[in-house]
Amino acid sequence: MTPLRQRFLDDLRLRNYSPRTLECYVAQVVHFARHFGRSPEQLGPEEIRAYQLHLLEKKHASWSAFNQAVCALRFLYRVTLRAPFGVDMIPYGKKPKSLPAVLSREEVAQLLAVVPQPLERLILQTTYACGLRASEVLRLRVTDIDSSRMLVWVRQGKGGKDRGVPLSAALLAALRAHWQRRRPATWLFPGHSPSGQRSLGALQRVVRRAVLAAGFTKKVSLHTLRHSYATHLLEAGVDLITIQRLLGHRDLQTTARYIHLTAPRLAQTPGLLEGLPTVAAAPPEAEPLPAVMAPVVPEVPAPPAPPW
């Protein structure tokens, strides 16, 4: 490991960045250095700008990946290298704000039903029942299940925050049966990685296979279960502040977007056209016809059928 990379990692650890963020930031800086074949210490604003254009025009990177690279380079030049140029000139990309896909309750049940392996199905059930992120469900420990208070404790979620989410009786019974069969010691859903945790990639493949088996045409991922959890709570009458705390959102605006996804609320929106008062239309003025001409009635083609 080069001294620069070690110093970069140390600076990230000193600011308590998560292991996942450390991995992503280092990878982005490595890609940047390899693109030019030189150390970042020898590169400046012009190379950064050229690399950003390369990401967009050649790599066709998503805006999330583009902004991740920007965050990594800003930290490197601002904190680790103390660059003489202002890092504010490294612009972020404007990420389009699209609404996430959401499954109905029937679709969630259909997705779970086509997962053949009981343990994999239980992981997806836990993800949906508690509204967890993928990393959070894989980091659950046996001691995080609090049956006395009927809570699941999410330790060090996004932003390094702990939170508790309700534990349903049905999920508790399923988790108890899982423990009786597997007797996990540390991680609730152990895997074969060096840390003992289950692989995120393997779990994502489980979801992709289930989506194909269920025949869904919408874009569905593991995170869709979290979106569905929040939307279904809102439809059930749970207030936004409570949902914000259950999801671990820092900003209420992030939670408020689920308002746009609730079918009952949209169905309750009044139709404005139907509410207009009825006003008698004025009869059209007939044009006078010449005395020598008989009225000609043009043939009016049948109107096309509406597309809906």
**What is the residue extent of each domain of the chain?**
3-89, 105-265
**How far apart are the C-alpha atoms of 87 and 85, rounded to whole Å?**
6
CB atoms closer than 10 angstroms to residue 33: 21
The pairing of beta strand 145-146 with beta strand 151-154: antiparallel
Collapsing DSSP to helix, strand or coil, 145 comes out as: strand
Res 307: pLDDT: 39
Fold of 105-265: hpI Integrase; Chain A (1.10.443)
Query: For 39-59, how does the pLDDT look when each residue is reduced to its tens digit (9 = 90+)?
Result: 999 999 999 999 999 999 999
Fold of 3-89: DNA polymerase; domain 1 (1.10.150)
**How far apart are the C-alpha atoms of 91 and 52, rounded to whole Å?**
9
Taking CB atoms within 8 Å and a gap of at least 24, the contacts of 198-205 are 198/123, 198/138, 200/134, 200/135, 200/138, 203/120, 203/123, 203/134, 203/138, 204/134
pLDDT at 138 over 50: yes
Query: For 11-26, how does the pLDDT look when each residue is reduced to its tens digit (9 = 90+)?
Result: 999 998 888 899 999 9
Strands (E) located in 17-172: 145-146, 151-154, 163-166
For the annotated catalytic residues, the residue numbers are: 133, 158, 223, 226, 249, 258
Largest CA distance in the chain: 103
pLDDT at 305 over 60: no
Tokens of residue 199, six digits: 């692989």
CB atoms closer than 10 angstroms to residue 150: 14
